[in-house]
């Protein structure tokens, strides 16, 4: 076994590099404004929470919103607060996940490389710097992972560690309620260490208390715990075909086939190596990851599929580094894993750069169109808005009266503009778009790539 002091030094160096890389890449990928539909609804929820009106949308993400509220005294807008919360969570989660993976793999460098692989995957390069709760959920999941690993390795079998396990699971659920079932698997970790079983009640009580505290305001707003469970239960629609979507999204998270397939093959090699070496601690990540895929395949998700599957992506990242470590050891070249990871980071960044550059140069098309309308209209002017673009319009059009285009009625004759998805061929239409790119298609299905503003003449009656 390696010298613990040497392992600690190696971890500090490797984790330091991983944190630095994540910090820099997230700082270079800050978005301009709201992009996907859930984001502006979260922004409205910071200052005007009303779950019955859809802000926040189910399942609520209450702890992520609370983290953003804590930053509002420094941030100028809810958008900035949400982005900064995601940014800080990404940096903290990198260090915490590296530490947790170190405890499970007993390899300091492998732990840091696995955390880096996770956060440099194209999906995380794109989404962990947007107003999304998943990075914060990963941060709390890593806290729970560290505590579970300590309990199972006799490193710190104390009530404090058990309480930290319960608090980490509660924080994970509070940031991303869709991960409840996978996160609860970690809560059961003390059952697999006879000496730690007596601490399970402490972990469970901490989880229950923490979850009740986090969801208290949502529960009160909705009319009680039963109404809260019913509301969150409506969050994901599921439906036919979600199994294929889940498996496809898991691969897409690592980029194009020439990046995703090698990662998948390394993960399979990692599974074989872990089974031969009886590394049962890896199940702390693998079991929630598998259940994560099952739940998303069964129920679907209100978020982008690659975001909903981040626990599975974390498991694949750890297994891929385990397989890469095994291959390096067999070849007698342990440094090869660092070279491969450096190449992956570079290729991942280059592949996703068209989308990141588009986002750096201009606001997402729905936001840019809404801002353009707000600059052009007079106070009280009627704006017709397609239902799927209403969150962006509500967050950014401050002077107009917004009317759903689907049931505009008499208001149609008074409208100045109509905000619609896609490219309009109407005379005088203004089209706002991002360049088409493979990362946008794979990671977000090209959603909101093109929107149009169609001028309407209030003097002409509606047809």
In tens, the pLDDT along 8-36 reads: 888 889 899 999 999 999 998 888 899 99
What would the mean pLDDT of 167-194 be, rounded to a whole number? 93
Q: Which residue has the higher pLDDT, 414 or 20?
A: 20
Task: Please say if the pLDDT value at position 60 is more than 50.
Answer: yes
pLDDT of residue 155: 65
Residue among 112, 196, 86 at smallest CA distance from 147? 196
Residue among 146, 147, 138 at smallest CA distance from 199? 147
Average pLDDT, the chain: 88
Q: What are phi and psi of 309, to 5 degrees?
A: -100, 20
Work out the pLDDT band at 302, boundaries 50, 70, 90.
Answer: confident
Task: Tell me 462's DSSP state.
Answer: P
Rounded CA gap, 199 and 148, in Å?
A: 11
Considering only 201-210, 328-337, 371-380, which range has the smallest mean pLDDT? 328-337
Most confident of 203-207, 292-296, 297-301: 203-207
pLDDT of residue 159: 86
- Please answer whether residues 338 and 423 qualify as being in contact, where contact means their C-beta atoms are separated by less than 8 angstroms: no
Rounded CA gap, 119 and 135, in Å?
A: 9
Given CA atoms 364, 236, 118, 343 in this order, what sign does their dihedral have? negative
Rounded CA gap, 63 and 135, in Å?
A: 12
- Please answer whether residues 202 and 147 qualify as being in contact, where contact means their C-beta atoms are separated by less than 8 angstroms: no
Most confident of 136-145, 146-155, 411-420, 453-462: 136-145
Rounded CA gap, 298 and 182, in Å?
A: 13
pLDDT of residue 242: 52
Beta pairing, strands 430-433 & 450-455: antiparallel
Work out the pLDDT band at 178, boundaries 50, 70, 90.
Answer: very high
Work out the pLDDT band at 240, boundaries 50, 70, 90.
Answer: very low
Q: For 176-282, where are the alpha helices, taking DSSP H only? A: 180-187, 200-214, 216-222, 225-233, 242-252, 257-277
Rounded CA gap, 237 and 231, in Å?
A: 12
Rounded CA gap, 43 and 391, in Å?
A: 10
pLDDT digits (tens, 9 = 90+) for 105-152: 888 899 999 999 999 999 999 998 899 999 999 999 999 999 999 998
Longest CA–CA span in the chain (Å) reads 82
pLDDT of residue 241: 43
pLDDT digits (tens, 9 = 90+) for 355-372: 998 888 888 999 999 999
pLDDT of residue 227: 86
Length of the chain: 463
* Structure-token match 């009740």, residue found: 212
pLDDT digits (tens, 9 = 90+) for 202-239: 999 999 999 999 999 998 888 888 888 888 776 665 54
Buried b (16+ CB within 10 A) or exposed e, 131-166: bbbbbbbbbbbbbbbbbbbbbbeeeebeeebbbbbb
pLDDT-above-90 percentage for the chain: 57
pTM flag (> 0.85): yes
Residue 199 CB neighbour total at 10 angstroms: 21
């Amino acid at each position: 076994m390696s010298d613990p002091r040497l392992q600690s030094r190696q971890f500090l160096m490797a984790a330091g590099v991983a944190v630095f890389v994540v910090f820099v890449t997230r700082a270079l990928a800050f978005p301009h404004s709201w992009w996907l539909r859930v984001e502006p609804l979260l922004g409205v929820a910071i200052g005007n929470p009303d779950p019955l009106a859809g802000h926040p949308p189910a399942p609520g993400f209450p702890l992520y919103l609370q983290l953003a509220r804590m930053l509002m005294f420094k941030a100028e807008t809810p958008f900035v607060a949400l982005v900064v919360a995601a940014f800080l969570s990404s940096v903290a989660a990198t260090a915490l996940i590296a530490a947790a993976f170190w405890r499970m793999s007993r390899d300091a460098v492998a732990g840091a490389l696995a955390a880096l692989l996770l956060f440099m995957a194209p999906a995380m390069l794109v989404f962990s710097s947007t107003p999304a709760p998943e990075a914060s959920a990963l941060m709390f999941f890593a806290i729970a992972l560290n505590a579970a690993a300590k309990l199972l390795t006799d490193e710190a079998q104390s009530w404090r560690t058990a309480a930290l396990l319960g608090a980490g699971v509660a924080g994970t659920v509070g940031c991303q309620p869709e991960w409840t079932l996978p996160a609860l698997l970690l809560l059961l970790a003390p059952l697999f260490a006879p000496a730690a079983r007596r601490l399970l009640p402490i972990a469970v009580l901490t989880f229950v208390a923490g979850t009740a505290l986090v969801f208290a305001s949502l529960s009160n707003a909705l009319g009680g715990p039963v109404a809260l469970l019913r509301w969150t239960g409506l969050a994901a629609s599921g439906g036919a075909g979600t199994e294929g979507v889940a498996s496809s999204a898991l691969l897409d998270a690592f980029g194009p086939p020439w990046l995703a397939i090698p990662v998948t093959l390394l993960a399979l090699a990692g599974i074989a190596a872990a089974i031969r070496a009886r590394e049962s601690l890896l199940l702390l990540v693998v079991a929630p990851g598998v259940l994560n895929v099952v739940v998303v395949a069964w129920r679907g998700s209100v978020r982008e599929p690659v975001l909903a599957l981040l626990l599975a992506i974390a498991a694949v990242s750890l297994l891929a580094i385990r397989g890469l470590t095994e291959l390096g050891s067999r070849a007698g070249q342990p440094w090869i894993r660092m070279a491969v990871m450096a190449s992956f980071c570079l290729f991942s960044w280059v592949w996703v750069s068209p989308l990141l550059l588009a986002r750096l140069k201009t606001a997402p098309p729905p936001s840019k169109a809404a801002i353009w309308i707000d600059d052009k209209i007079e106070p009280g002017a009627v704006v017709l808005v397609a239902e799927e673009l209403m969150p962006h319009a509500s967050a950014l059009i401050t002077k107009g009266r917004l009317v759903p285009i689907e049931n505009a009625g008499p208001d149609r004759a008074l409208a100045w503009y109509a905000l619609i998805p896609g490219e309009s061929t109407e005379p005088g239409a203004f089209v706002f778009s991002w360049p088409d790119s493979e990362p946008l298609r794979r990671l977000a299905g090209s959603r909101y790539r093109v929107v149009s503003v169609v001028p309407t003449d209030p003097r002409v009656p509606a047809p």
